[in-house]
Amino acid sequence: MGARMSYLEKTGLPALTVVIPVYNGENFLRETLESVLAQSYPAVEIIVVNDGSTDQTLFVANEFGDRIRVLDRENAGVSASRNAGISTASTDWVALVDHDDLWEKEHLANLARAIARNPEADVCYTGGRELIPDPVTGVFHPGELMPFPPEVELPRMLMERCAFIPSATALRRSAVLAAGGFDSRYVNLQDWELWLRLFHRGAKFIHTPEPTLLYRVHPASRTHKALQTLKHSVAVVEQHVLPHLSALERATRGRCIISRLEGEAAILLRQNGSPGALALMLRSIVRHPFHEPRRYKIAAHMLLRGYPKDAQRLLPPRDAQ
């Protein structure tokens, strides 16, 4: 670590620790670690937090020897793993990456340069690109750019959706710890919940648009978790968005936000052929009829195909009026 610190001092850029939470990640962890170790601007330390994996994750991590530091913990979820890594980091800036994502060679350099230009920043996020699996071979290839918004659009975007993902970020450790870290009560959308807490605490967000994150897309996981994601999305909106809106905004913009979330979940259910898609789309339309007209076309298509016949019975409980 001493040689790395000497190098970093010469560059004038902030030192970074990389934190990688992993649970049963033997299939992807090695490639992720190789992409982190190949950075043109090296991390001071790389911390892999093994969240009680039952596969060969720990074996893969230990293959890299003293180039990485492994925290081996009982299973407690991704939020607890990220918090553990951030808490033990030796630097005040921590770059996050999930065990199945990759970084281009200049990822950490771009983050460090952006932070050096904006010393008052608390969160820095990069641009990204999807990694899409080939339907035949299963091999992942770069796909579409991910539309992470610039800073000027971030205040509006954060109030409506998760604007960027953890693997795109470097976080000021002290700011995250002061805010309480990632909330383990959320099975997903923990990142959006933390970004909103930081935002409302006055944290400074900055963006470097170069698409140096490669985000691995797992379509099946996205569709299978549609209702769970909707539940947690609505909880985030109710806790961190609606209280910051006026009564009129809650009745208009607030309903529009939840309606959009319901519509997106309905589309994911439909793509997977899961029950409840039509009922959820109809609820989205009833909640707020005047945005995203394509919902009507999708609902009509499902009705014409009789999908599903028992839509009313499958209507999810009205938990977010």
Going from the first residue of the chain to its last (321 residues), give the mean pLDDT of each consecutive group of 10, the final group possibly shorter. 55 94 96 98 98 97 96 96 98 97 98 97 97 87 90 94 96 98 91 97 96 86 73 94 95 95 91 86 94 91 69 45 39
- Asked if the bond preceding 219 is cis, omega within 30° of 0, the reply is no
Supply the pLDDT for residue 319: 45
Find the DSSP H helices in 166-254. Answer: 173-179, 190-200, 219-224, 226-236, 247-249
Residue 92: predicted pLDDT: 96
Distance of CA 102 to the CA centre of its chain: 14
Tokens representing 288 are: 């707020």
Helix or strand run (H / E) with residue 210: strand 205-216
Q: Are 23 and 51 in contact (CB under 8 A)?
A: yes
Q: Which of 123, 106, 131, 126 is nearest to 39 (CA)?
A: 106
Q: Strand, coil or helix: what is 127?
A: strand
Rounded to whole angstroms, the Cα distance separating 156 from 129 reads 22
Burial-class residue 172 by CB neighbours within 10 Å (0-12, 13-18, 19+).
Answer: buried
Inter-residue contact 92 to 170 (CB < 8 Å) = no
Confidence at residue 150, expressed as pLDDT on a 0 to 100 scale: 92
- What is the C-alpha to C-alpha distance for residues 50 and 75, in angstroms, rounded to an integer? 8
Q: H helices of 93-184, where? A: 107-117, 154-158, 173-179
Q: What are phi and psi of 129, to 5 degrees?
A: -140, 145
Verdict on whether the full-model pTM lies above 0.85: yes
Q: Where are the domains of the chain?
A: 2-217, 222-304
- The confidence score (pLDDT) of residue 28 equals 96
> Which residues fall within 8 angstroms of residue 188, CB to CB, at 6 or more apart?
225, 228, 229, 232
In the DSSP assignment, the letter for residue 134 is -
Phi/psi of residue 288, each to 5°?
A: -150, 95
Residue 37 DSSP SS3: helix
Both structure tokens of 216? 């691995």
Q: Is the peptide bond before 308 cis (omega within 30 degrees of 0)?
A: yes
**Other CB atoms within 10 Å distance of the CB of residue 56:** 14
User: Residue 275 has what pLDDT?
Assistant: 83
Fold of the domain spanning 2-217 = Spore Coat Polysaccharide Biosynthesis Protein SpsA; Chain A (3.90.550)
